[in-house]
């Protein structure tokens, strides 16, 4: 018997001559490379005899599934008719983003869709795309940065501090926030997230734990930020009983870091293998939630979302301690995620790729740009938008276009005019790169009620 496990070894112990052999070899090769062949065969025999005992098991569950109820791989065709949809602020949205939604609405699993007024083209689903599906999850419908989210803390600190203590506040952001692929905090904090079962029971996720621990409390590159600014509460009837007026706020925007990106990449690959689609929509490949991989992605996605929240909690706790002030209010929301939600009377999976959940009474933050206000909102539960709203102003210029057409001096002029200080941040995040947030908000009056605004004053981004 050779050292390496082969199909012949599995056939000898009774495995059927079908795809269960390929599934077993692939899984063993990925997660059990260092286990002796004899031990693997003893375990594999147990699974073969009682596969039903191993359903849902992190290591052997997929092999049990291949023996009991193999995943059927068949080429999927698009429907000829789109599922129902609604576009908000249609005149402000590029055609390519609309076409991407139209393609998604022709998937056999599509139930209903919507496009938010900040929408622009992306990979798979457009950014600002919302899609309800039947018992299926599209990893690229959630996006690469799983659980990318907003978090706003409001402090009882006079707004005059933004000028009077400007150097101190700049220093807090420079020294105590970390960005990009390589920066991490010298003093690491622990968090209950690392005790979660998914880090023990899902072999692929287990490998990501060390990096996730190192990156806790850090932010990504691109459009992610941590910033101080002015919160204006404009409605007396707000959920926190805060008097109308101005406060200092800390706003952060970031996601699940390397962990989320790796989960997205891994399960997208599995989806494309199990769900062959026409080439132009291959990125919309889905996982059936009744399969081992579908269930595993669902658990991993939710873990990544909770990890993203843990990162924001860490950022706000660090900075709150340095400010020496207790928060009055904390408002937060995901905008790259999938939820179970009732749509037209049936339970669906609602993907929001760059869209804010806006169920009736649900609170959220819709940011503008470095120089434009963000909005504190309460959802109106509009069924045409699948209870969603925009996740920001949306890009007007691509990153490449920014580098080709904008100059640093133009950006400096804009920042000076709005009295904004920026630490880091590339030209591809210039204020001019974004749509007019006021137009975007005007196009979604039927989706959210505005309770207040956040105007950035000291912004920290990746270098």
- Main-chain dihedrals φ then ψ at residue 364, nearest 5 degrees: -160, 175
Please state at what angle helix 61-68 crosses helix 37-49, rounded to 10 degrees.
50
Measured in Å, how far apart are the chain's first and last C-alpha atoms?
56
> pLDDT digits over 345-376, tens only?
999 999 999 999 999 999 999 999 999 999 99
Q: pTM here?
A: 0.95
Q: In whole angstroms, what is the distance from residue 241 CA to residue 122 CA?
A: 39
> pLDDT digits over 244-271, tens only?
999 999 999 999 999 999 999 999 999 9
The superfamily (CATH) of domain 149-254+292-331+359-461 is tRNA-splicing ligase RtcB (3.90.1860.10)
Ordered DSSP codes for 424-457:
S--GGG-GGGB--HHHHHHTTTTTEEEEEEEEEE
Q: Are 131 and 137 in contact (CB under 8 A)?
A: no
**Is residue 30 pLDDT above 90, yes or no?**
no
Written as six digits, the tokens of 220 are: 């990504």
The pLDDT score that the predictor gives to residue 1 is: 45
Nearest C-alpha neighbor of 452 from the set 328, 336, 315: 328
Q: What residue ranges do the domains of the chain occupy?
A: 7-68, 149-254+292-331+359-461
Written as six digits, the tokens of 401 are: 């276009």
Check 351, 391, 418, 438 and give the catalytic one. Answer: 391
Largest CA distance in the chain: 78
- Is residue 440 very low, low, confident or very high in pLDDT (cuts 50, 70, 90)? very high
- Is residue 289 very low, low, confident or very high in pLDDT (cuts 50, 70, 90)? very high
Lowest mean pLDDT among 35-39, 193-197, 288-292, 339-343: 35-39
Is 266 a known active-site residue? no
């Amino acid at each position: 018997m050779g050292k390496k496990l082969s199909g012949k070894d599995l056939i000898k112990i009774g495995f059927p001559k079908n795809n269960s052999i390929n599934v077993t070899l692939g899984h063993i090769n990925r997660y059990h490379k260092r286990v002796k062949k004899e031990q693997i065969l003893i375990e594999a025999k147990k699974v073969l005899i009682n596969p039903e005992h191993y359903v849902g098991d992190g290591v052997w569950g997929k092999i049990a599934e291949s023996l009991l109820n193999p995943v059927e791989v068949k080429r999927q065709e698009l429907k000829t008719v789109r599922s129902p949809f609604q576009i908000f602020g249609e005149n402000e949205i590029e055609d390519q983003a609309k076409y991407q939604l139209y393609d998604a609405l022709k998937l056999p699993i599509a139930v209903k869709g919507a496009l938010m007024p900040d929408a622009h083209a992306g990979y798979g689903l457009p950014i600002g795309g919302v899609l309800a599906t039947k018992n299926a999850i599209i990893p690229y419908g959630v996006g690469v940065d799983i659980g990318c989210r907003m978090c706003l803390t409001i402090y009882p600190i006079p707004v005059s501090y933004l000028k009077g203590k400007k150097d101190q506040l700049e220093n807090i952001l420079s020294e105590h926030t970390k960005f990009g692929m390589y920066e991490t905090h010298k003093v690491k904090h622990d968090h209950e997230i690392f005790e979660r079962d998914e880090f023990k029971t899902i072999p692929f996720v287990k490998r990501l734990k060390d990096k996730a621990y190192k990156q806790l409390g850090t932010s990504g590159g691109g459009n992610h930020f941590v910033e101080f600014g002015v919160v204006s509460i404009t409605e007396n009837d707000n959920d926190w009983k805060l008097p109308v007026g101005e406060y200092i706020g800390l706003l952060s925007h970031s996601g699940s870091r390397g962990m989320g990106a790796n989960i997205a990449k891994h399960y997208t690959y599995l989806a494309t293998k199990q769900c062959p689609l026409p080439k132009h929509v291959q990125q919309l490949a889905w996982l059936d939630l009744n399969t081992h991989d579908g269930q595993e992605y669902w658990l991993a996605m939710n873990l990544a979302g909770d990890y993203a929240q843990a990162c924001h909690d860490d950022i706000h706790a660090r900075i709150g301690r340095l400010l020496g002030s207790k928060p009055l209010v904390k408002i937060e929301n995901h905008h790259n995620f999938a939820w179970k939600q009732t749509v037209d009377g049936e339970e669906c999976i609602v993907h929001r790729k760059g869209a804010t959940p806006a169920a009736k009474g649900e609170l959220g933050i819709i940011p503008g740009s470095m120089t434009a206000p963000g909005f504190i909102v309460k959802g109106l539960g509009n069924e045409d938008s699948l209870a969603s709203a925009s996740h920001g102003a949306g890009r007007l210029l691509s990153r490449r276009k920014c580098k080709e057409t904008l100059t640093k001096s133009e950006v400096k002029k804009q920042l000076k005019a709005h009295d904004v200080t920026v630490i880091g941040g590339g030209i591809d995040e210039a204020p001019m790169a974004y749509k007019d947030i006021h137009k975007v908000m005007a196009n979604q009056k039927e989706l959210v009620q505005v309770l207040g605004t956040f105007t950035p004053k000291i912004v920290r981004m990746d270098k």
